[in-house]
Amino acid sequence: MIDESSEPTAFEVIGNAGPGFLASLTTVIARHGGDITSVQIMESRPSSRTYFEVEITGDAASMLDELRALPIVHEVKRVNSMQKIYGKRIIIMGGGAQVGQVAIGAISEADRHNIRGEHISVDTIPLVGEKPLAEAVRAVARLPRAKALVLAGSLMGGEIEQAVRDVRAQGLLVVSLNMAGSVPEAADLVVTDPVQAGVMTVMAVADTAKFSIDKLKRREF
């Protein structure tokens, strides 16, 4: 059952693919005073399937009805938002073995908070190499709902360090394992034990946890 009071209004539109399809939808949304906070085109051929999250102060039902009335639209489905379902995202990247150990801590701790009403999800990607890792770190800042990044490896530095500083400047929390290289110097928090790193990262982003990195007297553990 959809929670009608949830924000933002989330819905999926299925219709005829082709030039102008997205423009037709956004015109209707704008006419109703909707502010699009997220949009994702999940399929483009043969039909277009597009997911929207829209903040609207007016009548969302009338906006959805007008979208359904468009000749190019086949179906409009109201759904729960990704924030409501998957919530805050924690991204773990680096060497496969270390990533797996961090994930054990993060998933176990997230489960504890999700039972109490939180919504925290954990994503992992085993990845090696300075350039691929630097590109992946910068890409995290473009991921919707990403709140924290854990760098799990044995050696990271160079361009990865600069990428860490770049995403931290954009408000992303970065936790690093205690490893060789300059990345630990650029991170918000450095944790030696990978399982503990996962646990502490979840605690740092969970509203149900009484833990704040800003209140720590040291940043290495």
Residues near 20 by beta carbon (within 8 Å), at least 6 away in sequence: none
2 band by pLDDT with thresholds 50, 70 and 90: very low
Mean pLDDT of the chain: 90
**Residues 136 and 198 occupy one common structural domain:** yes
How many structural domains compose the chain? 2
**Residues 99 and 53 occupy one common structural domain:** no
Per-residue pLDDT, 6: 54
Q: What is the mean pLDDT of residues 86-104?
A: 94
Q: Where are the alpha helices (DSSP H) in the chain?
A: 21-31, 60-69, 82-85, 96-115, 130-140, 159-169, 183-186, 194-205
Closest CA to 5 of 74, 78, 66: 78
Q: Which domain holds residue 191?
A: 86-215
Is 220 within the bounds of a domain? no
Lowest mean pLDDT across 98-102, 115-119, 158-162: 115-119
Is 221 within the bounds of a domain? no
Say which CATH number the domain at 180 has. Answer: 3.40.50.10550
Say which CATH number the domain at 22 has. Answer: 3.30.70.260
Closest CA to 84 of 170, 4, 173, 25: 4
**Residues 57 and 98 occupy one common structural domain:** no
- Note the pLDDT tens digit of each residue in 202-211: 999 998 877 7
Closest CA to 9 of 39, 41, 42: 39
What is the rounded distance in angstroms from the CA atom of residue 21 to the CA atom of residue 107? 39
Bridge partners, 174 (sequence order): 149
112 band by pLDDT with thresholds 50, 70 and 90: very high
Residue with the bigger pLDDT between 210 and 2: it is: 210
From 36, 64, 82, give the residue that closes a domain: 82
Burial of 212 (0-12, 13-18, 19+ CB in 10 A): exposed
The model's pTM is: 0.82
Q: What is the mean pLDDT of residues 70-81?
A: 93
- Note the pLDDT tens digit of each residue in 162-173: 999 999 999 999
**Residues 21 and 42 occupy one common structural domain:** yes
What's the one-letter identity of residue 69? A
**Residues 95 and 200 occupy one common structural domain:** yes
Length of the chain: 221
Classify each residue of 67-80 as buried b or exposed e, where b means 16 or more C-beta atoms within 10 Å of its C-beta. Answer: beebeebeebeeee
**Residues 31 and 135 occupy one common structural domain:** no
**Residues 140 and 191 occupy one common structural domain:** yes
**Residues 107 and 205 occupy one common structural domain:** yes
Lowest mean pLDDT across 43-47, 72-76, 207-211: 43-47
